[in-house]
Amino acid sequence: MIQSHGAAETFPCLRNVKGYNFPMPPPAAPVEALGKILDAHRRGHCDKMQALNLIEALRSRSSDSETDELRKSLVALFRESVMTSKNVGGYIVNMSALALCCLAEFCSFQQLMELVFSRFPMNDPPMIEVWVREIFPDLQWSLMRCQERVDADALHRIRAQAAMVRASAYIHTPSVVTAMENLEKTADWIEFHRFEKTLLSRKPSRHETSKSTAAPAPISALPPDVARALEEAQNRLETQGPFDSMTAADLIRGAMEEAHREFVKELVLIYGGGPPIDDTDGARRSYMRVVGFITKAEEKFFSAIYSLISEEASHKLIAPRETILLLHQTVFSYLLLLTERLRKHHT
């Protein structure tokens, strides 16, 4: 709960708020405290981020019942405030956008999506343009900022709204179409990272490609061309926007082929016999099996991975980013396994 000190002591960030001259109400009045903060922003005494920080501090010191009252007040503010911004005291003030950003912390995202899209007037194209200009940026920011709390129902609601816009009899402007496409991409991005975190395989990080580490078989132990190809594929996986699965798959396949070439060169020095007559990846895998570097079962498994990557590189995938992510992490772990195995052969 809020301590009974002065407002500047309770909220240190108020000390630097321009023109601050309002008292903070006592702990028993969180809704009144919220009103004071909102009024300060409305009058241009603090910017949006300062107001957000003050409201978050107020929420963290409130009981569950008080937090529910704060949420109800912010819901009412979002529903009733005009969506148009104005410049007050050098700050851009939009009470609906401020309420949206606060509600991203106060309520479920399923509820937030219903609130946000309730102000998307399908039968009022000019107001849709206002929504895109004033509400969309803060909605997208809130989704990315709080993506761990964005549930499947909220993601489904985003896609349903985008589908409604596409199916509308009214031909929407490019700004509206682009905004809804970006919301769908944000939903895809959140879902992709959620899937990524469920995979147990370890993936390479940018730091591992640029520094040494005592951990077994770091990516820096791989041949430079292999490490670069895997890193480039990883960069493509982590980039928002359209995803080129064919290029990413080619990079992973190229890394696999280059690593096999390096393994064979080292194995020839150890076991002799010369490299495979035909310079194909299948022949290189066969050589690694003949000299006992990999087993026959492993050769079949690694060949199946190679074939799968080759097929995925030339066909349209149902879930391209997720599929390539799985292949990328499988190949990365496999190459580290063989790198560590080769190191042991030298010792």
Euclidean distance between CA atoms 265 and 267, whole angstroms:
6
- The reported pLDDT for the residue numbered 212 is 35
- The reported pLDDT for the residue numbered 216 is 37
Residue by residue, pLDDT tens for the chain (347 residues) are 333 344 444 444 454 555 555 554 444 488 999 999 999 999 999 999 999 999 999 999 999 999 999 999 999 999 999 999 999 989 999 999 999 999 998 899 999 999 999 999 888 989 999 999 999 999 999 999 999 999 989 999 999 999 999 988 788 899 999 999 999 999 989 988 876 775 544 444 444 444 333 333 445 667 788 888 888 888 888 777 777 888 888 888 889 999 999 999 889 988 887 666 677 899 999 999 999 999 999 999 889 888 888 775 555 555 678 888 888 888 888 888 888 888 777 66
Bridge partners for 93 per DSSP: 86
Backbone angles phi, psi at 93, to 5 degrees: -115, 125
Of 243, 231, 242, nearest in space to 206 by CA: 231
Instruction: Tell me the CB-side half-sphere exposure of residue 49, using CA atoms within 13 A.
Output: 3
pTM of the model: 0.61
Euclidean distance between CA atoms 56 and 20, whole angstroms:
18
Q: Residue 249 class from Cβ within 10 Å (0-12 exposed, 13-18 middle, 19+ buried)? A: buried
Beta strands (DSSP E) in the chain are: 86-88, 91-93
- The reported pLDDT for the residue numbered 326 is 84
Q: Which two tokens stand for residue 156?
A: 């489904």
Alpha carbon 182 to chain centroid, angstroms? 13
Of 237, 263, 239, nearest in space to 251 by CA: 237
- The reported pLDDT for the residue numbered 221 is 64
- The reported pLDDT for the residue numbered 226 is 87
- The reported pLDDT for the residue numbered 219 is 55
Which amino acid type is present at position 231?
Answer: E
For residue 266, count other CB atoms closer than 10 A to its CB. 14
- The reported pLDDT for the residue numbered 292 is 92
